[in-house]
Structure formats: structure tokens, C-alpha cells
Chains A and B, each alone.
Chain A
Amino acid sequence: MVVTTSWYLALGAVLFSLGAVGLLTRRNPLIMFMCVELMLNAVNLTFVSLGADLGDLGGQLSVFFVLVVAAAEVVVGLAIIVAIMRRRQGATVDDLSVLGG
């Protein structure tokens, strides 16, 4: 049995869908962030698979930049969560509709 690129792409699709379902169902902002990380990893897997399939380094370069942006996003997002949780203990995202302005 030879592992083709389609296997990786299918795994990436399933992982992305799982992350999307988690983002839509969970109400804890931390777990929603983790689901965003799952989706980013699915996309990273797709990038690397397609890069390996086409023999191009561009896929891995894209994953490098996605990693940096994901790290920055996590830092800022967690800082926002800390700032919110200090004011309101145990707030879920449903309680944060006041942030709409």
C-alpha cells in the first residue's frame, strides 16, 4: 500500500472539519482557541503534502509563516482572554456579547 497525497489531504479535511465543529459547539474561549489550532494544523498538513507532491519548497515556506502568525494570534488572543476573565470570572463567549459595543 502506497501512501498517496490524497490520504494526507483527506486527513487534513477531516481534521479541519473536526476543528470547525469544535469551534461552533464549545463555549469555553480557551477550547475554541484550541479548535482554531486544530484547523491551522489541518491546513499546515495540506500545505506540506501538496508541497511534497509538487516537489516544491513553497508549501513548507507557507507553513513556516502560518506558524509565526498562529503564535502571534495565540499570544494576543490569550492576553484578551486574561483581560476579560479578570473582570468576569468564568465567562463563556455567550457572556461576552457586551463586547459588541
Chain B
Amino acid sequence: MDAFVFLVSAAIVLTGALGVLTSRNPVHAALFLVQTLFGVAVLFVLQDATFLAAVQVIVYAGAVVILFLFVIMLLGVDRAEDLGVEPIVGQRPLAAAIGASLMGLLLTLLLVATDGPTGAPGRTAPLGDAADNTRRLGEALFTGHVFAVELTALLLTVAVVGAVVLARTVKGPLQPLPVVVVATATDPLEVPAESQPGVEIDVEIDAGSQPGIETGSEDGGGDT
């Protein structure tokens, strides 16, 4: 029974991971990611880690993937990506070689170590069964690891503040523009400045205090 559940959920996990890798649309990739996360949650249940299985579904599938989908929809990047072109020559064969060697290395380590993982069974925090997993985890977190829990609270606060600061829209003239955007923005302004007789006319109308043409004359003066 355990083997059947393991094999089915392993198939779910691996097909989901392959879907994330190969899907052109980011929305499809996010849904495949949900599939993988559910498979991992089933494997957690299989190992009596019931609290982590619930947290996996709630936090990962419920919050993180929804955050991904929010960003995808917000940016409007839910269009298909062209996977046919290879931006860097030889990148994909190299990545496949690195991935295959990584997988081979890890699996070889597992197969060579026939005795399985070594180490002493824990004495300080024994693993209970599935029924009191949550109680034991809570006791361990809030007695022995209280300082780390407080640090994670600090980390989450910093992350929230950082996200708000990074994603806010800055108004006013102080907003720094990237170099590429500045170069494209000045292109249409240079077109009227190229006509040389227009410069003097602009200066004359400048006395009439029209702000739109005023900038045009400044650009023409700076260009010549």
C-alpha cells in the first residue's frame, strides 16, 4: 500500500516538475508547480509529517503559487514564451549535461551507501506518530527553538517591508530611469531639432511663454 502511494505520488511530483520545465505559458507552469507541491504533501503524509503536509498545501499551494499567479496577471506576461530559440549558444546541452551529472552523482551516492543514512537516533526531540505530530512540533518550536522562531518573525517583517518598498510606484521627477528607457525617450524629441531653421522660430515663440515649445527650443539649443 505504501509503495503504491509512493509510486503514484512520485509520478505526480515528477510529471509536475517536467511540466514546469517545459511549459511555454507561465500560468501553466504555476499550475504544474501546484501539482508537484501536492505530490510532495502526499509524501509528507506518508511519512507521518501531517503538520508539514498541511502547511505545504496552505502556504505553498495556497499562498506562494497564488502570489506567482497574481504577479503573472499583474504584469500581463501570460503569453507564450518562444522556447525554440536558444539565447546563448550551447546553453541547453550544457545545462542538460550539468543536470544529468548532478543527478548521477546524487543517485550514485545513494546507491553506494547501501547501509542507508548514518547517524544516531534523536534523543532530545523524538519523533512521535502522526496523531501528536503537531503537538510535538509546536513544543519543540516554542521551547528549544524560540529564538529562531522570533528571528523568522523578524525576517517576515523585513520581507513585507522590503516588498512594499520595492514594488511601490515613485511619483515626481526624482524617479531614476534606466539607460535604455532614457535613450528611447529622447529619440522623438531630436526629430524637430534636426531642422535647423526651426530653432530660431522656437526662440521667438519662447517669448510668448509656451511651455511645450520652450522645451523644444532648449533641446534645439543643446543639440547645436
Give A residues with C-beta under 8 Å from B.
Answer: 1-11, 13-22, 24-28, 30-31, 33-35, 37-38, 41, 44-45, 48-58, 60-61, 63-65, 67-76, 78-83, 85-90, 92, 94, 98
Quick one: CB contact mask for B68-82 with A, threshold 8 Å, 1 for yes?
A: 100110111100010
Q: How far is the CA of A25 from the CA of B95 in the complex (A)?
A: 6
**B6 contacts across to A, CB distance below 8 A:** 3, 7-8
Within 8 A of A (CB), among B50-95: 51-52, 55-56, 59-60, 63-64, 67-68, 71-72, 74-77, 81, 87-88, 91-92, 94-95
Within 8 A of A (CB), among B89-110: 91-92, 94-96, 98-100, 102-103, 106-107, 110
- Whether B155 contacts A72 by the Cβ 8 Å rule is yes
Give B residues with C-beta under 8 Å from A.
Answer: 2-3, 6, 10, 13-14, 17-18, 20-21, 26, 29-30, 33, 36-37, 40, 43-44, 46-49, 51-52, 55-56, 59-60, 63-64, 67-68, 71-72, 74-77, 81, 87-88, 91-92, 94-96, 98-100, 102-103, 106-107, 110, 116-117, 119-122, 125-128, 133, 136-137, 140-141, 145, 148, 152, 155-156, 158-160, 162-164, 166-167, 169, 177-181
Asked, given contacts A24-B95, A52-B127, A56-B127, whether A61 binds B145 with beta carbons under 8 Å apart, the answer is yes
Task: Give 21 pairs: A residue, B residue, CB < 8 Å, sorted on A.
Answer: A11-B14, A11-B43, A13-B103, A15-B14, A17-B99, A18-B17, A30-B26, A37-B37, A41-B37, A44-B52, A54-B122, A56-B121, A60-B137, A61-B141, A67-B52, A68-B152, A74-B67, A76-B162, A78-B67, A82-B166, A98-B180
